[in-house]
Chains A and B, each alone.
Chain A
Amino acid sequence: MPVFRLLLLLSLALAGYGQMRAQASAMQEKAAAKAKAGAHPAEARSLFDSAMLYHQRRDFSKSIATLERLIVLEPDRAAAHIMLGLDLFQTGRAREALEPFKRGITLDPASVEGLFYLGLCYLSMDREDEARKAFDRLAAKAPSDADQTYLLMKGLSRMSTAMLGRLSSLGQDSARMHQVRAEYYEMQDDPDRAIQELEEAIRERPDLPSLHYAVGVVYWKKSEPQRAKVALTRVIELDPRHFMARLRLGMVLLELNEEASAAVQFRAALTEEPGLNLAYLGLGKALYKQGAMEAAVPQLQRYIELTPDDPAPHYILSQIYRRLEKSDQSQRELAIFKAKTSQTKEGQSEMK
C-alpha cells in the first residue's frame, strides 16, 4: 500500500479518536468550570454549553460569536479555542482557524483533535511541511505498544480504503480523484503520468490553486523550470496569498537566473508568512547573486537563526565575507560550514 494512503488513513482514524477525546475533554472542562463556579461567572459555563449546542447543530455563525465572547471571559480554555478553530475550518476559513488551533494546542498539548485539524488546515493551504509536523506530533501520541500501534494502523488503513471508495463514488473523473491518482503516480516516481492526471484535474477545476501548485511542483522536480514558472504564476493569480507558490516560484526564478524577480517573490512570501525560513535563504541567495553582499548577510543570518543545522548558508556567508574583504569572518563561516557538514554526514552514517 502506498505510504501516502497510509498517512491519509492514519489521519482519518485519529480524527475519530480525536472526537472522542474532544468530548471527554469537554466533559473535563465542564467539571472544572463547575468546580470553579464560585470564582467564575456561570456565564462562561453557559456560553460554552451554548457554543457546543450551536456547534452540534452546525449553526457556525452563532457558535463562532459565542466562542469569541467566551474567550474574552476565559482566555485559557483550550476547548473553546479548538472548537472555534473547528468552526472556522468548517466554514471554509482555514487561514483564520490556524491561530485558534495553535492557541488551543499550546494550552492543551494533548489535544488530538486540535493537532489533526491544524494539519488539515495546513494541507488545505498547500503547507505540506507544517502539515507533516502536525501529523508527526499526532502520530507520536499513538500507543507505544507495537501490537496496538499495528492494529491502529491497520484500522486506519481500512478506513482510508473506505474513504477512497467514497470519494470515487462521488465521481471517478472528478478533479479530486485525478488529484489522488496524480499523488499516487508521484509516489511511484512517475511524474509524466502525475502531470497528465493533474492536467485532467485542472480541466475539471481550473479555479483550484492547489492543482496548479501541484503541477508546478512536479514540473519543477522534473527540471522543467519554464513550465513550473507558468503553473506557479497561475497559482498566485488565483490566490495572491499563496506564499508556498511564491516560495517555489522564487526558487524556479533563481534557477532561471532571474534573481531580481526571485527576490520579489521571496519577499512577498515572507510578507505573508514571516516564519518561512527557506524564503530568507532564497532571498539571501538572490541578493548575493545580484552582488548585493551587505544586503544578503542579514537574510542569511535570519535563516541560520531559524534553521541552525543547515550548513549551506555558512558557505554562502564565507563567500560574501571574502568578497567584502572580511577574511576573519569568512574563515569563521567556512569553519562552521565544514563542521556542520561533517556533523550531517556523521548523522547520516549513524542512521545507516
Chain B
Amino acid sequence: MLTILLMGLALGVPVPESLAGLMEHAALQIRQGNYQSAEPLVAEILQRAPQASSAHNLLGLLRLGEGQFDQARQAFADAIRLNPDSTPAHVNLANTLVRLKQDQAAIKEFERALELRPDDKTALFNLGLVLGRNAQFEPATRPLRRAHALDPADASVTVALASAEIGSHHPPQAEPLIRELERRGALKSTIRTSLAMLWLENGEAAKGAALVSNDPERASDYYQTAWRLAQDSSDAGKYARTASILEGIKGLRTPTAEFHDLLGSAYYALDDAKRASDELQDAIQMEPAAPDHYYKLGMVFLKHRTPEPAIYVFKEAVEKRPDVPKLWMGLGLSYYIENQFDEAKKVLYQTIALDPTYAPAYTVMCDMLIQKGDDEEAIKVLTKAIAIQPNLYLLYYYYGRALGHRSEVDTEEVIKMLRKAVELSPDFPEAHFELGKALEAAKRPVEAIGELKKSVLLKPQLEQAHYRLSQLYRESGNTQLAEQELRAFREIRKSGAGDEMVQQLIVSFQGR
C-alpha cells in the first residue's frame, strides 16, 4: 500500500509569516482527516498566495484525502508547474497517479522526484512497490535496496525488498532479510503467508513451507495452494516444477497415496525411474487396492524396456483388482514386449471381455496380431470392435493394415478404411503413411505423395515414409527431391530415431 505523506511544507517559494502559520494549521487538519475544517483554510491560502507551489500542493493533499483523485492530480500538477523542483509535489502526484491506476506515469514521477532528491525514502519505497505490483521485480529491487540502506529498521521496506528479491529469483539476498524480520519479530502471520506464496510462485516451495510450518492454519492453506499448483503444473506438462513443489511441501502434511502417486508420475515423466518407482511403491503400500498406482509403476518398467518386473507388478495388481481392464491390458502389453505372445493374447482377450469398450486393449491386441502375421484373427477382433466403437480411428487404421497384408488385397477397401482413420484423426501420422502406401499400390502416385508428405510433416522421424517418398519422386523423375528424401531416410536410420509402435503405445498410455 502506498503511503501518502503530507509533504511540501518546507518549500522554496517564500511566503509571508502569517501565511506559514495558516498553512501549518491547514496541514494539521488534513492530517487529522478534518477536511471540512481544512477547506476554508486552503481557500484562504490560495487567495493570498495563488502563485505559491506549496499552496497548490496543500490543495492537492486535501483533494487526495477526500478521494477526488482527478482534482488532486490537477492541483499537484499546478504545484509542479509553479515549482518544477518540488520533490514533495512529484511524490504526491506519483501517489495520486497510483490511485488512478496510472502506474507507468506514476513511475516516471517517482523517478523525477528521485532525480531531485535521490535519498527520498518514501519515493524509493513507493517506486519499488509500484514496480513490484507490475511484476517488475528486478527493477524494484534497486530503489528498495536503497530505501533499506537508508533505514534498515523499517519493516515495511524490508518486507517489500524481500518480496522483490524473491520475485527476482535472488534467494541468497532474500533469505537474510527474512531472517532479519524474524529476529525483530516483524514477521506477522499475513506477511509470512505472502512471502511463502511468493516463494511458491517462484519455484521455491520448500522455502515457503519453512515460513508457514509453525502456523497450522497457514500451513494448511499453503499446502492446498501448493498442491493445486503441483496438479496444474503436472497437467501442463511441467514435471520438474511438480516434483519440486511436492518435495517442498512433503513435511507440512502426512503425504497421502495421491501425493506419492503424483510425485511418482512426475519422476516417471522426468525419466527418474528410481524415484518414480519408490514413490509409486509408497502409494501402493498406502492404497494396495488402487489400480492407478500399479498401472503407473508397471509403466515405469515398460518405459525402460524391462518387462519382467512389469509383469510381476501387473500380476500382483490383477490379483487384487481383477475388475480393472487397464491392469489386464498392462499385463498383456508386458507379455507382448517380453515376446510371450500366447500369454499376451489370452490376457488381452480377457481384457476385452471385461470391458468391450476399452479401446487400448484392442490397440495392443491388433498391433500384436498384425506384427505376428495373424491378420485374419486381427480382422475378426476389429470387426467386433468397430461394431462397438465405430468412431475409434485406431480400429480403422489396424483394419486397413490387416487387409493390406492379405494375399489377395482389396486395395480400394484398404484405402477406404485408412481414409476413415485419417478422417477421424487427421493428426495421426501413421495412418497417412499407410494410406500413402495403399495409394502407391493402387498406382495413384500423386495422392500417395500427398499423404506421405502429411505423415512426415506430422512426424519427421517416420523413416519409412521418407523412403517411400524418395522412391515415388524417383519414379516421377524428380531426382533432387528423391535424393533429399533418401538422405533424410538414411539420417534417421543412422540416428536410430525411428521407433516402434509398441514404444508409442507405452507413451500414449502413460498417465491414463
Contact = CB atoms under 8 A, between A and B. Distances in A.
Interface of A: 43, 47, 50, 61-62, 64-66, 68-72, 75, 260, 263, 266-267, 270-271, 274-275, 279-280, 283, 287, 290, 292, 294-295, 298-299, 301-302
Given A271-B324, A292-B353, 19 more contacts: A65-B221, A71-B253, A71-B254, A72-B254, A260-B356, A267-B354, A270-B323, A270-B324, A271-B323, A274-B320, A274-B321, A275-B289, A292-B354, A294-B353, A295-B349, A298-B318, A302-B319, A302-B322, A302-B323
Interface string B202-228: 000000000000101101110000000
A65 B323 contact: no
A66 B253 contact: no
A263 B221 CA distance: 41
A294 B348 CA distance: 11
B320 A72 contact: no
Contacts of B322: 280, 298-299, 301-302
Contacts of B221: 65
A75 B323 contact: no
Contacts of B325: 267
Given A69-B219, A69-B253, A267 B355 contact: yes
Interface of B: 214, 216-217, 219-221, 251-254, 289-290, 318-325, 346, 349-350, 353-356
Nearest to A61: B217
Contacts of A295: 349-350, 353-354
A267 B323 contact: yes
A52 to B, nearest CB: 13
A47 B216 CA distance: 8
24 contacts: A50-B216, A62-B216, A65-B216, A65-B217, A68-B253, A69-B220, A75-B254, A267-B323, A267-B324, A270-B321, A270-B323, A271-B323, A274-B289, A274-B290, A274-B320, A280-B323, A292-B353, A292-B354, A294-B346, A294-B349, A294-B353, A295-B354, A298-B322, A299-B322
Given A47-B216, A302-B320, A69 B252 contact: yes
A65 B219 contact: yes
Chain A at the B interface: mostly helix, strand, loop or mixed? helix
Nearest to A291: B353
Contacts of B349: 294-295
A41 to B, nearest CB: 10
A336 to B, nearest CB: 19
Given A65-B216, A287-B354, A294-B346, A266 B323 contact: yes
A64 B321 contact: no
Given A69-B252, A279-B323, A294-B346, A62 B318 contact: no
Contact of B220 (A64, A283, A287, A299): A64
Contacts of A283: 323
B353 A43 contact: no
A66 B323 contact: no
A243 B319 CA distance: 21
A79 B107 CA distance: 56
Contacts of A61: 217
B365 to A, nearest CB: 14
Contacts of A301: 322
Nearest to A70: B216
A244 B321 CA distance: 18
Contacts of A50: 216
A66 B320 contact: no
A301 B319 CA distance: 9
A299 B323 contact: yes
Contact of A66 (B217, B252, B346): B217
Nearest to A51: B216
A307 to B, nearest CB: 14
A65 B319 contact: no
B217 A263 contact: no
A280 B321 CA distance: 9
Contacts of B290: 274
A122 B214 CA distance: 34
Contacts of A266: 323
A274 B346 CA distance: 24
Nearest to B288: A274
Contacts of B353: 287, 290, 292, 294-295
Contacts of B319: 298, 302
Contacts of A267: 323-325, 354-355
B354 A66 contact: no
Contacts of A71: 253-254
